[in-house]
Every structure is written in C-alpha cells, then in structure tokens.
Structure 1
Amino acid sequence: MNRPTIFGLIAFSSMAIPIFVTAQTHKDHNIHSSMSSNIASKINASTSSSPLTEPGQGAFAAISEVVKVLSADDNTDWSKVNLTNLRDHLIDMDILIRNATATQTTLENGVSTKVTGDAETLATAKRMIPAHGNELRSDKSWVVDFTVNANDVILTVTSEDPKVALRIKALGFYGLMASQDHHREHHYIIAKGGDAHSGH
C-alpha cells in the first residue's frame, strides 16, 4: 500500500503525549507524581534554546514529542518501542481527514454519515471508524452505531436529549472523530509497542 510522504497537519491529533496515569491510591498517586515530575524535568532539560516550539510538520512533531518522552522515562522498554506503527497510524488519521468523502444525513436526533473513498481511504476508514466508534461509546449521552460494508463505512450517532442531538449535528463526522480526549494516550501506547486499533 502506498503511503503519502507529506502528512500535513493532522487536524484531530494533538501533539502532546500524556504520560500520567490515574492513581488507584494516595500512595500510588505520589509514586506516579514523582515519576512524572522526574520525566518532565528531564524533558525540560533536553529542550533546545530555540524560540520555536514545533519541531516540524504535524506527524513529525507528534513523533518527536513521543521520542522526547520515551527518552526521559527510565522505565521505557526499548525492545518494544515501535515508532513505525505510530507513523502508520498518523498517516491513517491524515488520509481519513484529507481523502475520505463523508456524506452526512441529518436525523431528527443526530447524524448518520456514509464514508467512501479510493481503496486506500476505504481501508483506512474500515480500520479507524470502528475503533473510534468504540471510544465514542464511552460517552453515555449518545448512542453510537457503525456498519462496515464492502464499499463504505456508516457511522451513526444519536441522542434522545435535544441538546446533545444539537451538539452531534454541529460536530458532524469529523468533529465526532476528533471527540473523546484519548488520541494522545493512544499514540503513546502505540509508540510503546501497543496495538494501533484495539481500543483506539
């Protein structure tokens, strides 16, 4: 499969990669806070004196951020790190935002979107929409359904709450794909060798 060599800005990929985990106990919280502070101090110490803040275009900046965090973490298992997988996932995000044709139907209580495209775009949609759809389901204020067909993928998001339904309509397909603040954590998991699409 051919991959584009220039990613451009990835519209729904934040560049920061979180490294903090929610603590189960006060003791665990202190341990994680100490580790995070240590990593953060190492990251700050390695930062150049350049007045610029972005190390490159979108995907390159995201990978650069991950490298900085991994390098500052003494517990990084370098035998599992896979930045190529992260790069491939960032390309998927770029393909979906740039190349997918999203035909949206406005429903009384939400939206239904049929996503089509060329072979590469459709393959990307079939990977990303079900994975992200499962993440959207963590928000119990709406109902999420998706169907993967031979020539398209359909994502439907609805709510019986009129205010939520209005928000769904305003977000549309691309806004919904950018919803749920999980992308940064997900990218960090991929970089450390995790699955790119299990619990996107």
Structure 2
Amino acid sequence: MGCCTGRCSLICLCALQLVSALERQIFDFLGFQWAPILGNFLHIIVVILGLFGTIQYRPRYIMVYTVWTALWVTWNVFIICFYLEVGGLSKDTDLMTFNISVHRSWWREHGPGCVRRVLPPSAHGMMDDYTYVSVTGCIVDFQYLEVIHSAVQILLSLVGFVYACYVISISMEEEDTYSCDLQVCKHLFIQMLQIIE
C-alpha cells in the first residue's frame, strides 16, 4: 500500500486535529473558558480513539470518530454564532465559563497587536491587583480569532468525516472479501478432502 491511501491520510488528519485541539485547549485554559475546555477534552479523546481505530483497523472506533465529527462541527458552528452574536447570543455573557468566573476569551486582552492600558494598584490595594481599563490597537478583534479557530476545526472535521467514511467503507469491503475468501477456502478444502477420499 502506498502512503497516500485514505487510511494514511486519515492518520495525518487526526494528528493535525490533535495539534489544533491542543493549541485551542491551551488558550481556552488561559481564558478560563470551561465549556470549550470540556468540549476540547472530549474532542481530543475521540480523535485519539479515531487515530487508534485507523492504525489498528478497527472500523467501530472510526465510526465513533465519524459521529463525533458531526457533533464537533455543530459545536463549532455554535461557537461561531456565539462570538458573532448571531441569534440573540452575546459574547459578553458568562455562558462559556458556566457563570463560574468573569473571565472571557484570552484573546480579548492578548490578541496580536493588542495594548492593554492598566490602572496601577491603589495605595491600600494588593501589589498584583490590576484593573484593566482598555485594550486598544488589536490587529484582529478577539471574536474573529475565536471564529478562525472554530472555522479551522470545522474544516478539519469535515475533511476527517469524509476520510473516515472512506476508510470505513474500505475496511468493510476488506472484511466482506475476507469472509468470502474464507468461504471459498472452506469449499476448496472440502472438495480436496472429497478428492482424497
């Protein structure tokens, strides 16, 4: 088999998805975004399962991966709608943090080119206590960075879905061929025994 088979491509795609999900997980941890952290964690587990299924020729694991990619696309479409404030959603709510904290996306204050203007601590305040006044000069607004992350996840998932379906169909054909070959071998063995008798 050549290296450009569907199976090999799915392995590479799963590796790309893992790298992308781990990168996203890091930035969601930095922003205390608990809902995306849980989603990314599940995604990483299922991608590893899909990778294992692809390497070990386990079509059922690849089927789980295929179903998950459809759910993952749905989640990322929701994230895009959330940050673009589509359908009554607001990026300023605590939905992504489960109302546990007031943190927002890490990219809000640390995006490319962003300059934070801080108010120094008050005389009776803590030395580490900073109140952010404003963030200016961002090359790309944070919501668009989040949308780009989700769009990349959607693209990888859609391509992964197609390759996973292809690998499942190929492995099912191989199983059918294998069972057919066993029946042919059994039939030939029985005929050979009859000839010997």
Answer with 1 or 2: which has the greater Rg.
2
User: Relative to total residues, which structure has the larger strand share, 1 or 2?
Assistant: 1
TM-score of the pair, normalised by structure 2: 0.25
